[in-house]
């Protein structure tokens, strides 16, 4: 969303972060203050980690490429190589520790659609690149920077190599963020024209990238002609396109803020606007509205949009106050009808910002193809904050159970979740996770755990929040170089001043630094491209006795096995005795020692916030 009143009402994870709305489990867990003594700190971290785990558990281009092979590690003895293979069928449930060390496991996916193995990059066009010197990013500016995202050549190493761009709203809007639309069939003139959009799609497609649009169908701007005319009532054609009534009923509020006002006065009548009075909700229960919204989807798909990120997907239809304001059967009906209208090759990615159990109801085989895994995002940040893998392990097992249940029910072998560690509504990853090593862990987990990863622009650089108020601080101009305007604009000033940490280098400096966060991210992306196991393999969370800060998991596809050990603690881990490991493992990432003795394969100790990948 835009400047969303859902955000900012909860306790920070590290420093100034925003927890998710609508998630009663984690919200109830509350913040924690670290005691001054090391023993007290450990006890509190352990207790809070267990509490967070309990909360989370209730919710919760590529030809195969060969990376330059590091030196091979020790060859494993037959007894280790013969560990029970991961079941890639429907038995992946959390049943306690299995004989082969798996705490929970989930099936492989079978790629069928363009997004199944993709990495998506979220772009705020206004902040990415200005091409005409007005201080505002635009579509031609984005086109000029596509080679940074994917240059179309798998043999180069200076691009990220992402597969799709998710563009925050492009439509005309009175707000900087665009989530209050005034014309669904045009481009904001500050960004360009429909012809510019066509050129973007062509240029992106030529490089092997798809374009996904943010589509805001729950509400419009109060300046949209539909509302301007419809609020007059009477015989106006759009009089029933919004929700009007003669009184403001009691018992209504925002699901995440029950005391908030959602019925707003309009003369002697009231209209319903869930997020704020400038965004009146559409009455999707009116057949003409539903038909018009489907036509809008077809309009953009016909112009080359490969999918849509669906904003506020839970809230389309209201049947009453409280529980009746979200997740209604008619909402699910609308999404199924939109899916049928778009066809199977157009991605519908739902922002269903709530618990895992509820969001999964939108992931039926005939509804939304992907939903965001908010529980896992919460758990990554909470686990880094607490130095414990408990919350993240619980969220991972819940996601794996969901995939296993789908397979057991005869469902498609498809990914269910878009995964992320940052987006435009959350405080920047670098604001919550104050060390670069911690950001390494977050980005490594994003790109090695199962799901379709979504990377927020600038997170690969370590950009943090600026000092602006509200959500604008999370959406500042991209930092390309150290020159005037940071390479973003030739204007004397950008649409928003870059008040983020000035010590964070831009793209040019980080491209020249092999130890930069950008270089680390590009290496992870290259490893993912080269690894069928990371893109689509089965997953098992493995036991690590005596190392509560370490998340250990295996990805497997065919004869390829990848083992990932992530130390979420800011202290070194103990040495790990691996319950299973790849044959003749080589270290793809990390520097922890790998040894072989009579008891098996040992890894570590892992350094503070270190990630090791064995392949």
Active-site residues, by number, are: 311, 351
Q: How far apart are CA 31 and CA 402, in angstroms?
A: 28
What value, to the nearest 5°, has the Cα angle with vertex 587 and ends 582 and 590?
130
Contact of 457 with 478, CB cutoff 8 Å: yes
* Total residue count of the chain as it appears in this document: 615
Contact (Cβ atoms closer than 8 angstroms) between residue 36 and residue 25: no
What tokens were used for 602?
Answer: 């040992």
What distance in Å separates the CA atoms of residue 261 and residue 255, rounded to the nearest whole number?
Answer: 11
Q: Is the dihedral of CA 570, 354, 403, 166 positive or negative?
A: negative
Q: Which of 389, 394, 424 is nearest to 550 (CA)?
A: 389
Report how far residue 5's alpha carbon sits from residue 368's, in angstroms, rounded to the nearest whole number.
26
Cis peptide preceding 51, ω within 30 of 0? no
Nearest to 464 by CA among 487, 493, 496, 436: 436
For residues 131 and 144, is the Cβ–Cβ distance under 8 A? yes
DSSP string, 68-81: PPPPB-PPPPHHHH
Among residues 338, 352, 274, the alpha carbon closest in space to that of 360 is found at 352
Decide: 371 and 416 in contact? Cβ < 8 Å: yes
> Three-state DSSP class for 366?
coil
CA distances (Å), origin 485, targets 34, 152, 481, 512: 40, 28, 8, 20
DSSP structure string for 498-553? --S-TTS--HHHHHT-TTSHHHHHHHHHHHHHH-HHHHH-EEEEE--TT-TTEEEE
Give the torsion through C-alpha atoms of 270, 273, 278, 281, to 10 deg: -110
User: Which ranges constitute the DSSP H helices of 242-389?
Assistant: 287-302, 329-342, 356-359, 374-386
* Residue 15 to residue 285: CA distance in whole angstroms: 42
Number of helices followed by number of strands (H, E) in the chain = 17, 20
Pairing of β 370-372 and β 417-420? parallel
Which helix (H) or strand (E) element contains residue 588? strand 587-589
166 neighbors 309 (Cβ within 8 angstroms): yes
How many CB atoms neighbour CB 103 within 10 A?
Answer: 22
3-state secondary structure of 371: strand
């Amino acid at each position: 969303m835009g400047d969303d009143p859902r955000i900012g009402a909860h306790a920070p994870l590290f420093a100034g972060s925003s927890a998710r709305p609508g998630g009663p489990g984690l919200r109830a867990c509350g913040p924690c203050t670290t005691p001054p003594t090391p023993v007290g700190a450990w006890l509190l971290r352990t207790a809070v980690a267990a509490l967070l785990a309990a909360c989370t558990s209730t919710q919760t281009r590529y030809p195969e490429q060969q990376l330059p092979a590091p030196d091979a590690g020790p060859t494993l003895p037959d007894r280790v190589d013969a560990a029970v293979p991961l079941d890639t069928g429907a038995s992946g449930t959390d049943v306690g520790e299995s004989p082969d060390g798996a705490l929970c496991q989930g099936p492989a996916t079978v790629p069928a659609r363009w997004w199944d193995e993709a990495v998506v990059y979220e772009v705020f066009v206004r902040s990415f690149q200005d091409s005409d010197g007005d201080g505002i990013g635009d579509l031609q500016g984005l086109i000029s920077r596509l080679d940074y995202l994917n240059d179309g050549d798998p043999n180069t190493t200076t691009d990220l190599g992402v597969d799709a761009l998710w563009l925050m709203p492009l439509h005309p809007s009175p707000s900087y963020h665009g989530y209050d639309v005034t014309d669904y069939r045009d481009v904001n003139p500050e960004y360009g024209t429909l012809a510019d959009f066509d050129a973007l799609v062509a240029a992106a497609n030529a490089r092997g990238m798809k374009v996904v649009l943010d589509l805001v169908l729950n509400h419009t701007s109060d300046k949209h002609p539909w509302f301007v005319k419809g609020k007059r009532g009477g015989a106006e054609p759009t009089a029933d396109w919004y929700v009007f009534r003669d009184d403001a009923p009691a018992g209504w509020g925002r699901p995440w803020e029950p005391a908030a006002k959602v019925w707003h006065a309009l003369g002697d009548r009231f209209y319903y606007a869930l997020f704020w009075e400038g965004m009146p909700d559409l009455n999707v229960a009116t057949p003409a509205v539903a038909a018009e919204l489907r036509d809008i989807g077809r309009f953009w798909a016909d112009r080359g949009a490969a999918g849509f990120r669906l904003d506020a997907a839970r809230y389309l239809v209201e049947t009453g106050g409280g529980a009746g304001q979200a997740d209604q059967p008619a909402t699910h009906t609308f999404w199924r009808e939109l899916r049928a209208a778009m066809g199977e090759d157009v991605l519908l990615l739902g922002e269903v910002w709530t618990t895992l159990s509820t969001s999964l109801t939108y992931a039926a085989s005939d509804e939304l193809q992907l939903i965001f895994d908010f529980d896992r995002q919460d758990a990554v940040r909470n686990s880094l904050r607490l130095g414990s893998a408990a919350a993240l392990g619980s969220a991972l097992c819940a996601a794996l159970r969901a995939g296993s249940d789908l397979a057991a029910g005869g469902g498609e072998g498809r990914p269910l979740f878009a995964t992320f560690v940052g987006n435009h509504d959350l405080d920047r990853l670098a604001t919550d996770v104050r060390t670069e090593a911690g950001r390494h862990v977050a980005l490594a987990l994003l790109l090695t755990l199962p799901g379709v990863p979504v990377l927020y622009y600038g997170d690969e650089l370590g950009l943090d929040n600026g000092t602006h108020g509200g959500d604008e601080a999370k959406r500042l101009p991209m930092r390309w170089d150290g020159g005037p305007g940071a390479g973003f604009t030739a204007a004397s000033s950008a649409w928003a001043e870059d008040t983020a940490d000035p010590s964070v280098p831009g793209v040019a400096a980080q491209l020249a630094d092999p130890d930069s966060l950008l270089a680390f991210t590009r290496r992870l992306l290259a490893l993912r491209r080269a690894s069928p196991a990371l893109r689509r393999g089965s997953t098992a969370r493995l036991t690590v006795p005596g190392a509560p800060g370490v998340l250990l998991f295996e990805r497997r596809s065919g004869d390829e096995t990848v083992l990932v050990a992530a130390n979420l603690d800011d202290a070194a881990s103990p040495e790990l005795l691996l319950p299973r490991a790849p044959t003749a493992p080589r270290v793809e990432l990390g520097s922890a020692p790998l040894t072989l003795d009579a008891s098996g394969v040992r890894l570590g100790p892992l350094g503070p916030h270190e990630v090791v990948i064995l392949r």
